Amino acid sequence: MGTTNVAAKLPSATIVRETPSLLRRWWMNKNLQYYVAMSSFIIIINIAAIVHMRTHKIPFNNDNLVTFVVWFSTFYIISGIGSCCAWFVAIDEVEVSEGASYAGRVAHTMGFGIFFVLLYSISPHLALLFGVPCLIWFVAFMVAPCCPSIWKGLCITVEIIRDWWKYVTQPGSEVVYV
């Protein structure tokens, strides 16, 4: 009689565990997705503003505005290229992605600066109506994550204002003698 060792008769198997590629993990980074979406949005709105100014023949001859656009454009291009290069380096080295994210925020700030200067050239009232809500958004989502102390101070200020508003709007009691 032969041996009945079942394990000896089964073929040996190697388990291969697949992990996502470096490129897939890089592309799934939420900061990178935000950077791509925001950069696309900023480029589109700036091109739309320039096309609007060209089609409606809106002059752009104020020296101060031209100076702002030149400075914003210079920093936008430099920080945008720096951020793109850092994101490509971040494919292999994940720790570089944080620096790329900050460089991207600088680029987005400069891109919005260009847009607001163009918007001001089109209509100062439109720039004000569009600029105030965008400034609130900018402080909440661009500056505050970079500086936690600003975020904490902003939260405390909002709580103080909320408490003051509750105090001011509470119904009062009044004694009336008849």
At 75-131, the pLDDT tens digits run: 999 999 999 999 999 888 888 888 888 888 889 889 988 999 999 899 889 888 888
Distance, CA of 112 to CA of 119 (rounded, Å): 10
Q: Which two tokens stand for residue 52?
A: 């609007």
Q: Which two tokens stand for residue 124?
A: 């100062």
Domain contains 88: yes
Task: Note the pLDDT of residue 141.
Answer: 67
Distance, CA of 54 to CA of 81 (rounded, Å): 27
> 135 is in which domain, residue-wise?
23-163
Domain contains 102: yes
Domain contains 69: yes
pLDDT, tens digit, 9 for 90 and up, residues 28-44: 888 888 889 999 999 99
Domain contains 7: no
Task: Note the pLDDT of residue 147.
Answer: 66
Domain contains 74: yes
Domain contains 3: no
User: 145: closest CA among 95, 118, 109?
Assistant: 109
pTM surpassing 0.75? no
Q: Which two tokens stand for residue 14?
A: 């190697």
User: 116: closest CA among 131, 106, 129?
Assistant: 131
Q: Which two tokens stand for residue 118?
A: 């163009």
pLDDT, tens digit, 9 for 90 and up, residues 122-134: 988 988 888 888 7
Total number of domains constituting the chain: 1
Task: Note the pLDDT of residue 71.
Answer: 93
Domain contains 170: no
Domain contains 152: yes
